[in-house]
Amino acid sequence: MPVTVKDLMAAANAAVPRITQAEAREMIAAGALVVDVRDGPEVEKAGKVKGAVHVSRGMLEFRADPATPYHSADFQPDRPVIVYCASGGRSALAGKVLKDMGYDKVFNLGAFKDWVEAGGEVESPLDPGM
């Protein structure tokens, strides 16, 4: 029987714990990597969590795997990782992939808009004229 998005989401949500804004702030202060997995136009339009690295969902595995030429040194399996997106779905799936790749401490912050509404620090969107 084929796997559905509902099945994938259930597995991801079971594997990757959601954290609160307060928990995220503490983890960020302690050095956690924050990863924005939204698409480029979303980040350009709305900005991102202050200090977050932007890695679109489609490039995550390549940035996280040290065996690829696209690896980012920000990704270290022993470093806590906080992922987020627009609503929490892509970040749950991204977190599950990171767990499958050996990253033990992965957490889902959920929706970027919730971070903003809770007063979380944001880096302003890029000026498209630059």
pLDDT digit string (tens) for 74-99?
999 999 999 999 999 999 999 999 99
pLDDT digit string (tens) for 16-66?
999 999 999 999 999 999 999 999 999 999 999 999 999 999 999 999 999
Residue 22 lies in a domain: yes
Residue 47 lies in a domain: yes
Residue 126 lies in a domain: no
CB atoms near residue 77 (< 10 Å) = 14
Tally of domains in the chain = 1
Residue 127 lies in a domain: no
pLDDT at 124 over 90: no
Q: Predicted confidence band at 128 (pLDDT cuts at 50, 70, 90)?
A: low
Residue by residue, what is the 3-state secondary structure of 33-95?
EEEECCCHHHHHHHCEECCCEECCHHHHHHHHCCCCCCCCCCCCCCCCEEEEECCCHHHHHHH
The three-point CA angle 29-75-23 to 5° equals: 30
Write the CATH number for 76.
Answer: 3.40.250.10
Range of the domain at 41: 5-120
Please report where in the chains the tokens 């004229």 appear, as a residue. Answer: 129
Residue 27 lies in a domain: yes
